Structure 1
Amino acid sequence: MKQIDFYLDFLSPYAYLAFETLPVALQGLSVQVRYKPVLLGAVLREHGLRGPAEIPAKRAFIYRQVLWLAHEHGVPMDLPAEHPFAPLPLLRLALACGAGPQPNRYICETVFRHVWRGGADASAPERLQQLAAELAPPRDPSGEAAKAQLRANTEEATAAGVFGVPALVVDGRVFWGLDALPMLRAYLEGDAWFATSAWDEAPRRPSALDRKP
């Protein structure tokens, strides 16, 4: 059975859509998915990247696109009242709820839907209190254990080559984004392309931009 690490941040609409559509994408395959919350901002900083919502024109398109993608996939979705927002309380809450170091699918589903359904403010204190009451975490979300696990997940993700979310990692291969789910399935089904040199050779092209004038 293949193990898939699904790196996610509840802040990301694409992570929400990938999470909701993943059961269909993996239907019939023998896999185990481990859901690992990470701090997207830290992942982006590690690679010198700006958040998509920091670029006004890109932000406008992303919100239109994710609503279209939700419509296309039949996934209920409402933009939260404010976005982006600080996701740390949600990430730590999810990690504090797991029976082990990581949250299960139900916990992630509950948090994702808190953000992406209903159009309310995802970080409103009263809503966060209601969510915590619903999930009843056995550990303190503001405690050191949850904070340490989030740091560990984020460091693990960047070490694995993750540069954004959603990212699904299996056998050391990173599949990034909602639109990579068909590619992931093809790999898991044993598509012969992955046995060729294409995967390893493709990124070895020299960049003309690196040449000194």
Structure 2
Amino acid sequence: MTALLLSGGMDSISILYWKKPDIALTIDYGQNCAKAEINAAEYACKILNIKHYVLSINCAELGSGDLSKNLTTNEYAPHSDWWPYRNQLLITFAAMYLLKFKVKKILIGSLKPDEQFKDGTDKFTKLISELISFQEGGIIVEAPAINMTAMELIEKSKIPKSILFCAHSCHKKNIPCGNCRGCNKFIRIFDKLEESKKENL
């Protein structure tokens, strides 16, 4: 049994469409955009007929940056949306929750550009997989798009724009703010898709 840690953003929804996991899990850990992320994830899973679960654990007090109500930038933050040890936290929660489903593999949405964060690197994925799989249940962690950019993933997955467009990428709010790194990426990707469409006409 395979599960996807589904944030509701463009990358994880593309992986959802590409890999068709048995189940998907979205975690509300206290991030500003949790409601919209859950709605986007639920919508995509409904279209693809994939079982979707939501786990709510409020870790807002531990956050920093755009995703958090604590707008003070942490001294270690490489970018404004950095939340300390976030991927480690979410993967651990996911493994704890998914153990009851006898899941043997958890997919995460890290891409090649995410290597700007240590917990978005291939090395981190291998280390966390080794740690989680060492423990009861033997669950492994994989990042199937770790060597791809967002555009490469979208092309590989062949996800229709109608599904991709339902993604929520804003880091700050449940309604896109239009000026965070997540919103900027969303706009940039759709601009590239439109350019590609025109070139192929």
User: Under a length normalisation based on structure 2, what TM-score does the superposition of the two structures give?
Assistant: 0.29
User: Under a length normalisation based on structure 1, what TM-score does the superposition of the two structures give?
Assistant: 0.28
Larger radius of gyration: 1
Q: Which structure carries more relative contact order (alpha carbon 8 Å, separation 6+)?
A: 1
Select the structure that is richer in helix.
Answer: 1
